[in-house]
Structure 1
């Protein structure tokens, strides 16, 4: 028994000595890497805390546990992988649509871009080869303002896993000057283009039990602009359609959502602001900031969003990580809509 006690004492002494050696090593490392400036409080700066953490783990005997923790820390950044998925983005030769196409291509999706002109589609494909090296992309020339255009897209791409309905038009006009033909024109492009494509592609998504449909709506769906009532009406209609389709896909791994951008520095908005910028001798970017502050004063960011900022949300919504997000109206409006829910 005395021999067992002596053995136990020796083990305890060895553990205490190991602990003292570890603490001395940590302290030496901390002294060798002092902070550049004294912190405002007595807390140890973050860099030194991380150094102590890494060193203490390197000295710890539990190598297996250490590897598990470090592996977890390395895996923390979210990585969106759409390899093997085919994505169609309508009106994707410029602005928000092009930014979405780039984001999906970088995530590994096989891309189908769409535009009304052959030259713009070819230019977009050339741009994507540079912006997303190695990406797989094809183009479809089609005007989605009527059923024939939708049919051309479907014939060129019979099946997709991801559908982003980005095609749309806008423009201010007094309510009393908007005739029936213009109301119908806005409705066909902003609403029916997405309806026609969703009606075809959703069936295949449900059969395969995976899919993503995203309608690019607008904060104008909630803040109906008095000078663009016909536009606001079509954007609100998209919210109804996306919510209804999400319910139709209930119980499946197909999600349907609407994304609501606010003022965004797309090519169309830049063109609209250029005349003001030239007349007032300012940059287009500054004209955009001034417009937001004057006409969208509830904006929290107090500037237009970039196309990439909108695209980032859309790419996430299309990802496997967004599997529990469906039937939602997701705002990327810079806080323009002044409601919580």
Structure 2
């Protein structure tokens, strides 16, 4: 699934990214990559998902069993930028005011003052988000979608950039709450982290033995750098044929019976919303910039298809009972649509 990029580049309009802008972006992205790899071992896919999320101005949900460096990866990316960072450990007794803030009565002035919560940071890590109640989870909806919170009837804007990195453990059900689909859809990407390869696990042991798991130094980027990268990402060129390809893919998720065989169509109850199409275009642009290109090719859409769609497909009860994997259905969806 490749394209003749030299032919495509010759037809692009003049407002696409210039060579000096691409060089600056590449230097910043390389610094962030080196910082991440100095701490997190053997997670290139997770690193790419995190960086694509930041470039796309989105939010990410990371799922895995305990001990696979979900929290470490998210906090490392946040520490690589000279920006505010907040870590919120979600528990069943966590209240919405513990996240967004509340009004506090000040006896000295006989008035209320607003105390902003930890969500008012550039990078927010919600650890084990599925351990918080539905009421607390809903407190994040306005923040994630509108980039603001409302306390006592007053809206408080969140800083820019603003990125939520949430983690959840799929194997423990005691004291957990399933995230509602409305909130799942707010996450640009859902990344599932698997066990490390034996060679990577040996490297983890070696680093622990050498004592080299400390923070690799001061931040290598500023919030201004991140905002510049986000602005550059929004200017990455997307051809109309790529946009049609994305819309056709999303349409298959909504009408599986018209495009997929009965063995696949019967597993899908609801398809992706328009946020799915938007996510594909945003992430495709991020992938192109990470690859050093100022234009999107089909591989930029295909490469992170599972991360974009796996939490947007609502499977039937029968599919869940038979433990059908969303990733297999996503592959079938992509097989049904010709690549431009």
TM-score, normalising length: structure 2:
0.28
Larger-gyration structure (1/2): 1
Which has the larger helix fraction? Answer: 1
Which has the larger strand fraction? Answer: 2
TM-score, normalising length: structure 1:
0.28
